[in-house]
Structure formats: C-alpha cells, structure tokens
Chain A
Amino acid sequence: MNGPIRRLALAIFVGLALLLANVTYIQLARGPEYRDDPRNPRVLLARSSKERGTIVDRSGKILARSVQDPLAQGGFIRRYPQGADTVHAVGYSSLLFGDRGLERAYASELRSKEDVTISDMVAALLGRDLRPQSLVSTIDLDIQRIATEQMDGVEGAIVALDPATGEIVAYVSHPDFDPAPLLDATSAPAGDALEADPDQPLLDRVVAETYPPGSTFKIVTLAAALENGVASPETPFDDPVEFDLPGSTATIRNFDRSTCAGGGEVELAVAFTRSCNTVFADLGIQVGADRMVQQAELFGFGDPVPFIYDVVASTIPSADNFTNNEAALGQSAIGQRDVRATPLQMAQVAAAIANGGVPMQPQLVREIVDADGATISTTEPVPGPRAVSEDTAAVLTELMIDVVENGTGRNASVAGLTVAGKTGTAETETGPPHAWFVGFANDGARILAIAVVVADGGSLGDEATGGSVAAPIARAVFEGWSQQ
C-alpha cells in the first residue's frame, strides 16, 4: 500500500520542484524583462510616484513643477503654469502618454532617484544626491508669450535665438494645446482627442515639419554665388518679365508678374532687395548644381540640425538630380520645387550670417541645478562648421538690412534696431502660400535671430506674402526683445 502512496507523494514533490525552478526562472532570469516591459503598469506608476525637478525660464519664472497628485496618495503630478504657451518649448510628462520635450530629453536629471532599493540607499550613504535636479531653460517667457500671441489663430512656427550662443529665447509651434488634461491617469480621452485633431496640435512645427522655404532660400543661393565668385552685389543681370527655364517650356515670373526694376538690366543687390525670382533662378543656374547643393549643406541642409529634440532634416535634392535639368535647379534656387526646410533650419541660416558665418548649435537649456539651487552644469556654446566666410556674412548682412529698409521686409523694421532679413512667399500645390520671414535684429550690444513661418497664408490666405504676414510677427518679437 505504501508504495503507491510514496509515488503519489513523489509526484507532488516533483511538481513542487518544477514550481521552484519555474518561479526562479521567472523572477530572476526573465525578471528584468518583465519588470521593464512597457506594458508593466509599475513602470508608469513608479514614475508618477517620483518627484521631478522644476523647469524655469532664463529669469527664473516657473515653466514646470511637481505637485502632490490629488488622485494618487504619495504620488506627484506635473503642473505647467504657462499652459499652452510653453508646451512645445518645454514638453510635458504624462502618465499615459509618456514624456515629451525637455521632460524627455532631461528625464534622468529631472526625476528623483530616491528609490527604496538597496542600491539607491547605498548610493545615498556614499553621498550621492538623489533629489531631483532642476533645469534653467534658455526660454525668455516674456518673448515667448509675445511670439505665442502673434500666432493666434494661424498655423506655423516661430523660433528666435541668440546667434552668439545658440540659446533659443522663443520656441512656438501653433496650433498648441494645454498639457494639463494630459497629465493624470484619467487623461486617455483628452489625449486621444488631441491625437485625432485634424489641426495636429501635437505636432512640433519648429523641428518636426518642413515647409518649402520660398524666397528665404535666396539667402543660400546668394551666399553660394558670393562664396564661389560667381557674382557680386553689383553684378548686372537681365531683367525680363519672364525667365525661360532652359530645356523646358516653363517660365519663372516675379511676384507682381512684371520686371524686377523696369527692364533691361538689374544689379543683383537690387534683385535681392526686391526678391526677384527671374534673377535668382538665373543666378542659381549660373552657380550650378554642385555649388548650390554644397552651400545648402554647409548651412545644414541634408542633416537634422543638432538639437536635443528629434529634428527632421531639411532637404535639397542631391546634385545628380539637377544634371540635365537646369529648370529644376532654377526653381530650387528660389526655394521651390523639392527644397524643404524646418523653421529651426532657417533660423540657423539667419543666425550663421549674424554670427559672422558660423552657426552655433541651438540650445534650450542653460543650466542644470541641484535641489539646493547650486549649479551642476552650464551649457557651453557649441559652434557648428562654418557656413560662409566672414566677408560673405558681412555682405549678406548688408543686403539683408537693405531688404528690411527698402525692400519686401519693411514690415519687420523697428526704430532703434538694425534689422536684417529676407521674406519668403512659398507657393504650395494645395492652397495659399506659406509666409516666411528669416532674419535678425541688432541693438548694438545683442543680436536676435529669428525664423517665422505662417502656413497657408494665415489670415490673409491667397493674398498673403512673407512681407505682409510674417514680417510683422518678427517685428513684434524684435520690439519685445528690444525693450528688455
């Protein structure tokens, strides 16, 4: 009798031994995988229970801070006092939708490391500071607000930065949204609604959307011509009503469908001030595909602008695409056809010229400070590769000042400031043009570079031009900046 009973007992023991093996496998061998699985709610819940540091603007105004979560005892939740105004500049930390912007780029610094794990306790005993660190942003909240206000009701982006350091003082993408409904555990419907919104408020148009740059790209064409000695500002060009694109029946006309300066011949400088397409299509073809593409790449086209956020690369087709297709080259030289640029890329073009030919990497964080307010690290300016020579930068600056003083950019001029710039009215296949202004203002001591794009003509629709829609926005930002 005892034989079978022993075997039954043995069967249970073997089963229990298998349980031991299996549970060891699950908890130790596969443990880290299960623990870190994004579907594991603990990943999310652990985050919510941690305090994060504050994010302040360059003068200490609060952009983001942690408060006790009213829904989860002992948990923290983010508050963004500036609401929609800073949502794309700062990002947000949502329980259900994850981290965006600075909240993501600096997640490990912002997050408290105060865990109850033994390794963290050991680290604390060894003197490591586990408290959350805080960020000092480069954003100037006053200018940010002025810029945001300018974009009311339109789609587009503004990015304004200091050419000497790359520090971004205003970073606006519109339409925007208030991140508050996205933050807590009940935010799923609000988040789904934002994702489904046809106006795409979640899209960061500063870095994640490209637009045809239109005539603002003439800065690049002009730089290529100057750098390669193809032309000087005084070089005379033919001034037809229409420029016949070689090898094609297509023509290029000026914006007002007439000559640039009354016919005959026109100096390149005048053509730039008046933004004459006929002349710049001609100039682009004279510069040639290789040198055009090379100059665009020196300004940063072809690669994403180096930045803490994911940036979409601005594009110009490779030189091969223009072989035996000078028509395409002529259209590209005036920023049409397949040329596409992010607002941040065009701001970098302006900033490079303002900074004597060298673009600085754009920055959004000045300092990381610890919980006691002591600075842990300060962001150092990082120069990028030179885009144009100092001489070319100086000539371009003069010509861009003339655009604002005497040409299409007059709406950007501000009394007491030297403003340089270039407007753009980029044709689109689908509707009204995109209005651009790219340039910089100098108050004698400081410089502010800017790129403004208003998609689909903004409130003016088909009637919109860069000069009528985008330049006044740049002026408002320059004015706000100059009063500081």
Chain B
Amino acid sequence: MNRTAEAVLLAGAAAIAGLGVTLVNLARGGGVDADVGLTIVVFVLAFGGLHMAMRAWAPRSSPYLLPIASLLAVIGFVEVYRLDDRLADLQRWWILIGAFLAATLVFSLRNAGTEVLRRYRYLLLITSLAVLLLPLLPLNWSFPLRGRLVNGSRLWVALDLGFLEIQFQPGELAKILLVAFLASFLAERQQALSLMTRKIGRFSVPEPRQTVPILLAWIASFAVLVYQRDLGASLLLFASLVAMVYAATGRASYLMAGGGLFAIGGLVAARLFSHVESRVQAWLTPFDYYDTTGYQIAQGLFAMGSGSLSGSGLGLGRPDVIPFASTDFVFAAVGEELGLAGSVIVISLFALLVAVGFGIALRSRDLFRKLLAAGLIFAVGLQALLIIGGVVRLFPLTGITLPFMSYGGSSLLANFLIIALLARVSHEERV
C-alpha cells in the first residue's frame, strides 16, 4: 500500500463522516444542514493536511496509521455530533488542532528524527513530572494557569487567556513524555536490567539500583492516583511503564513485581477511597447498585442491549440517557446506534491499529525506537481495552477516554501526537 492508497482511504473516511452527519440530520427530522459540509471539510483538512505532511517530511512512514485513526475519529465524531452539537463544534476544532500539532511534530523531527527525544530524555522526565503535577496548582489564584476539580478528580488544568479559558488534562501528554523517557532510559540500561545478578532464595533479582525506573513509575502513577483520584489514568500509566521494562528486558519477573506493586497500590487505594470499592461493586453487580454507582453501567448495558445486532440507526436510539455518553461511554452509544456491527468494527479497528503499531515496533532495528513504538502503541491499546472493558463489564469501570473517539481535546491531541511519533519511527526504519 502506498501513499496514494492512503489518500483514497482518508477521502473515504471524510465521506463517511459527511454521510454520518447527514443521517443524524435526517433522523432529527430536519433538513440536511451545513454541518455536513463543515464536517467533510474539517476531516479533509485535518487528515489531508497530515497526509501531505507525511508525504513531505516522513515519506517512508507506514501508510496504514492515518486511515485507521481517521476512521476511528470519524465514528467517534459522528456519535458525539449525534449526542451534542456544541461538543461536536469543539471536537472539530480539536481534530484540526490535533492534526496540526501532529504535522508540526513530523515537521520538527524531519531532520534530527526521534534521536532528539533520546538525547534530551531527562528534560522529558522533568517536563512530564511537572506536567503531571499541574492539576495540583491552586484552584483559585491570580496566575492564569490553575488546577481544576472535575467530578471529584484533579485531572484538569485551566489556562485562562483572558478572553478564553482552555481546559485540558495534562496527564495525557505526560504519558507520552514518560514513555519516551523510559524508552531512552531502558535502551541504554537494557543490559544491566536484564542481568539478574543477585539471588534472594530461589529468585534472581537485578541490582537494586537498576530497579529505580520501575519504582519511579510506581511512585508517579501512585501519586496520580492519590492526589488526582484517577484510577484509570494511574493504572494505564503504570501498566505501560511496566510493559516497557518487560519489553526491554524480557524478564517476566518485572511483570510480576509490577503486578505485586499494583496490587499493593490497589489495596491501599481501596482503603483510602470509598469510590474504588464502589466501582468494584458496580462492576460485579451493577443492578444491585442501580440507583447509585451501578446506574451508568446499567444504562450502558441497556443501550447496547437495545442496539442488538444492527443498532437503532444513527440518531434513532436514545444514547443521550447514558451519563457521560460522549466521553467514557461513547462505545456504548455506538453499540446502541450501530449495533453489534458497529461495536465489532470499532474493536477491529483498534486491533488493526495495535497490529500496525506493534508491527512498527517489531521492525525497528534500533532499541530506543523499538521501545518507544511498543510503549506508545501498548498505551493506546490498553487504554481502549480498559475503557471498552469497563463499559462491557470485563473490568471495573475506569474513567478514561476511548482513543480518537471520545469527546475531549487532551485525549485527541495526545493520540494525534502518538500517531505522528509512530509514523516517524516507521519512517526512520526505511531510510
């Protein structure tokens, strides 16, 4: 497949977006309005622009990334549009900005490549930790950058520009920076970490000082959990970092150690926060807690059950009765209106994206790029797995977004950047 095929697929995705918005318009009983044209233009601009950027500055990058990402973004956008016009207006901007930032990233790395990230790894680490702590800024102070308390979690930062206040979740960006740092760190220490020089009883363990990164990861994600009360982001961050250590060393003992640390963290969190326990209850028996914590999960099940095989049709279901339908529960909304068919398409697209991403990692000859690609795509795949798994009751529900599909600027921007990095890694392999 070449870039021309990519362009054709992207044009197809933009057409599907226009078609989806048309169907929603018709289902609302009104005429087809300007949103159809606007949506097509936005997708053509965003993904067409990104496509041109790839042609110009990363011509040998994988042509599979953009079509898959764009189709996910299209399905998510149409469902968000169907749920809330105003959110869709904002989402269009986020898609444009995300594509622009991704193109900018590809442009910036056009000469030096991902090598830059490897070189400045401690800058990345410091930046990521600082960014992670941004939401803990005071809620009300004169400085235009403030923390925000949303739904009991301190995940948000508000940037007050005077005429406009922009809110974002810095955790999404911190995740990318941490993955890049760890990829660089591990690429250098891979040998030392793999050697299990010490023995405790029957178990071989590495030099204690070599375990610093995994402990650091644990502390960072536990800090996220404790201060920001965000189980999902914390788990996602921690699991991604542990997975990278495992990828670098091939030592399953790191996975076990990670699992053990996670279990400890989880137990402590369950003691500290009542909402951890209630989430577990709502997961196991949502209908017993229908009036309280199980309500959202139950509404998601009603939505997906009502959708059945072929769905109600776009705009013809009632996904608007699900709390947080456009963010956490966008998968349930798609499941209702597009049915099992839509659910399978979404999961399959994520499987394809994960396959392409891991393919890039596997083909990389350079250890840093290999770990970078593997870490990024693992984070994307795990995020999709966790939130969809929460909606379909495979896991307890964690309030994280579905990559490319949920409404939300921070999440979209971060995932666009991940696609740009993956593209760059794949480009560098074929120089």
Q: A residues near B, CB below 8 A?
A: 1-6, 8-9, 12-13, 15-16, 18-20, 22-24, 26-28, 30-35, 37, 39-42, 45, 73-74, 116, 118
- Take A16-B351, A34-B304, A39-B302 as given contacts and tell me if A4 and B309 are in contact as well, using a CB distance cutoff of 8 Å: no
- Take A5-B370, A39-B290 as given contacts and tell me if A23 and B344 are in contact as well, using a CB distance cutoff of 8 Å: yes
Give the docked Cα–Cα distance between A5 and B1 (Å): 25
Most chain A CB atoms below 10 A, which of B321, B335, B340, B392: B392
Give the docked Cα–Cα distance between A184 and B347 (Å): 39
Give the docked Cα–Cα distance between A39 and B248 (Å): 50
**A20, B362: Cβ atoms closer than 8 Å:** no
- Take A8-B246, A9-B354, A41-B318 as given contacts and tell me if A23 and B340 are in contact as well, using a CB distance cutoff of 8 Å: yes
- B388 touches A (CB below 8 Å): yes
Q: B residues near A, CB below 8 A?
A: 29, 243, 246-250, 290, 298-299, 301-302, 304-310, 312-313, 316-318, 321, 335, 339-340, 343-344, 347, 350-351, 354-355, 358, 361-362, 367, 370, 374, 378, 381-382, 384-385, 388-389, 392-394
Tell me, rounded to whole Å, the shortest Cβ–Cβ distance linking A235 to chain B. Answer: 68
Most chain A CB atoms below 10 A, which of B302, B312, B317, B318: B302
> Which of B290, B309, B351 lies in contact with A27, CB distance below 8 A?
B309
Residues of chain A contacted by B318 (CB below 8 angstroms): 41-42, 45
- Take A3-B250, A45-B318 as given contacts and tell me if A16 and B308 are in contact as well, using a CB distance cutoff of 8 Å: no
Give the docked Cα–Cα distance between A13 and B377 (Å): 12
**B392, A19: Cβ atoms closer than 8 Å:** yes
Tell me, rounded to whole Å, the shortest Cβ–Cβ distance linking A86 to chain B. Answer: 32
**B246, A42: Cβ atoms closer than 8 Å:** no
Tell me, rounded to whole Å, the shortest Cβ–Cβ distance linking A15 to chain B. Answer: 4
Tell me, rounded to whole Å, the shortest Cβ–Cβ distance linking A22 to chain B. Answer: 4
Residues of chain A contacted by B392 (CB below 8 angstroms): 19, 22-23, 26
> Which of B306, B354, B361, B388 lies in contact with A40, CB distance below 8 A?
B306
Residues of chain A contacted by B301 (CB below 8 angstroms): 26, 30, 34
**B340, A13: Cβ atoms closer than 8 Å:** no
- What are 20 A-B residue pairs whose CB atoms fall within 8 Å in the complex? A4-B249, A8-B246, A12-B358, A12-B381, A15-B389, A16-B354, A16-B384, A16-B385, A18-B394, A20-B344, A22-B394, A26-B392, A27-B305, A28-B309, A31-B306, A37-B302, A39-B298, A40-B302, A41-B321, A116-B316
Give the docked Cα–Cα distance between A41 and B319 (Å): 10
Tell me, rounded to whole Å, the shortest Cβ–Cβ distance linking B208 to chain A. Answer: 22
17 additional A-B pairs beyond A8-B247, A19-B394, beta carbons within 8 Å, are A4-B246, A5-B247, A8-B358, A9-B358, A12-B358, A15-B381, A16-B347, A16-B381, A27-B307, A27-B308, A27-B309, A28-B340, A31-B307, A35-B306, A41-B299, A42-B306, A116-B312
**B308, A28: Cβ atoms closer than 8 Å:** yes
Give the docked Cα–Cα distance between A335 and B313 (Å): 63
Tell me, rounded to whole Å, the shortest Cβ–Cβ distance linking B77 to chain A. Answer: 21
**B339, A27: Cβ atoms closer than 8 Å:** yes
Residues of chain A contacted by B247 (CB below 8 angstroms): 1, 4-5, 8
Most chain B CB atoms below 10 A, which of A6, A8, A15, A74: A8
Residues of chain A contacted by B246 (CB below 8 angstroms): 4, 8
**A23, B343: Cβ atoms closer than 8 Å:** yes
* A13 closest partner in B (C-beta): B351
Tell me, rounded to whole Å, the shortest Cβ–Cβ distance linking B110 to chain A. Answer: 27
Residues of chain B contacted by A41 (CB below 8 angstroms): 299, 302, 318, 321
**B304, A23: Cβ atoms closer than 8 Å:** yes
**A12, B308: Cβ atoms closer than 8 Å:** no
* A25 closest partner in B (C-beta): B392
Residues of chain B contacted by A34 (CB below 8 angstroms): 301-302, 304-306
* B305 closest partner in A (C-beta): A34
Chain A interface mostly = helix
Tell me, rounded to whole Å, the shortest Cβ–Cβ distance linking B155 to chain A. Answer: 24
Give the docked Cα–Cα distance between A32 and B321 (Å): 18
* B378 closest partner in A (C-beta): A8
Tell me, rounded to whole Å, the shortest Cβ–Cβ distance linking A116 to chain B. Answer: 6
**A42, B302: Cβ atoms closer than 8 Å:** yes
Chain B interface mostly = helix
Tell me, rounded to whole Å, the shortest Cβ–Cβ distance linking B257 to chain A. Answer: 15
Give the docked Cα–Cα distance between A27 and B307 (Å): 7
Residues of chain A contacted by B249 (CB below 8 angstroms): 4
Nearest first, the 4 closest Cβ-Cβ pairs linking A and B are A34-B305, A12-B381, A9-B358, A40-B302
Give the docked Cα–Cα distance between A19 and B381 (Å): 12
Give the docked Cα–Cα distance between A19 and B389 (Å): 6
**A15, B29: Cβ atoms closer than 8 Å:** no
Tell me, rounded to whole Å, the shortest Cβ–Cβ distance linking B258 to chain A. Answer: 12
Residues of chain B contacted by A4 (CB below 8 angstroms): 246-250
Residues of chain A contacted by B378 (CB below 8 angstroms): 8, 12
Most chain B CB atoms below 10 A, which of A2, A12, A27, A41: A27
> Which of B243, B298, B310 lies in contact with A8, CB distance below 8 A?
B243
* A116 closest partner in B (C-beta): B316
**B305, A16: Cβ atoms closer than 8 Å:** no
Give the docked Cα–Cα distance between A45 and B301 (Å): 17
Most chain A CB atoms below 10 A, which of B290, B306, B355, B388: B306
**A116, B381: Cβ atoms closer than 8 Å:** no
**B367, A19: Cβ atoms closer than 8 Å:** no
* B240 closest partner in A (C-beta): A8
- Take A8-B243, A23-B344 as given contacts and tell me if A31 and B302 are in contact as well, using a CB distance cutoff of 8 Å: no
Most chain B CB atoms below 10 A, which of A2, A9, A22, A33: A9
**B340, A24: Cβ atoms closer than 8 Å:** yes
Give the docked Cα–Cα distance between A276 and B342 (Å): 79
Tell me, rounded to whole Å, the shortest Cβ–Cβ distance linking B247 to chain A. Answer: 5
**B335, A27: Cβ atoms closer than 8 Å:** yes
**B313, A116: Cβ atoms closer than 8 Å:** yes
- Take A1-B250, A39-B290 as given contacts and tell me if A26 and B305 are in contact as well, using a CB distance cutoff of 8 Å: yes
Residues of chain A contacted by B358 (CB below 8 angstroms): 5-6, 8-9, 12
Residues of chain A contacted by B394 (CB below 8 angstroms): 15, 18-19, 22
Give the docked Cα–Cα distance between A118 and B317 (Å): 15
Residues of chain B contacted by A74 (CB below 8 angstroms): 29
Tell me, rounded to whole Å, the shortest Cβ–Cβ distance linking B30 to chain A. Answer: 10
Residues of chain A contacted by B305 (CB below 8 angstroms): 26-27, 30-35, 37, 40
- Take A8-B378, A37-B302 as given contacts and tell me if A23 and B335 are in contact as well, using a CB distance cutoff of 8 Å: yes
Residues of chain A contacted by B313 (CB below 8 angstroms): 116
* B392 closest partner in A (C-beta): A22
Most chain B CB atoms below 10 A, which of A2, A16, A26: A26
Tell me, rounded to whole Å, the shortest Cβ–Cβ distance linking A74 to chain B. Answer: 6
Residues of chain B contacted by A2 (CB below 8 angstroms): 362
**A16, B350: Cβ atoms closer than 8 Å:** yes
> Which of A3, A20, A35, A37 lies in contact with B347, CB distance below 8 A?
A20
Give the docked Cα–Cα distance between A45 and B319 (Å): 12
Give the docked Cα–Cα distance between A28 and B29 (Å): 29
Residues of chain A contacted by B290 (CB below 8 angstroms): 39
Residues of chain B contacted by A1 (CB below 8 angstroms): 247-248, 250, 367, 370
Give the docked Cα–Cα distance between A116 and B316 (Å): 9
Give the docked Cα–Cα distance between A19 and B35 (Å): 33
Residues of chain A contacted by B250 (CB below 8 angstroms): 1, 3-4
**B302, A13: Cβ atoms closer than 8 Å:** no
Residues of chain B contacted by A16 (CB below 8 angstroms): 347, 350-351, 354, 381, 384-385
Tell me, rounded to whole Å, the shortest Cβ–Cβ distance linking B338 to chain A. Answer: 11
**B343, A27: Cβ atoms closer than 8 Å:** yes
Residues of chain B contacted by A20 (CB below 8 angstroms): 344, 347
Tell me, rounded to whole Å, the shortest Cβ–Cβ distance linking A226 to chain B. Answer: 61
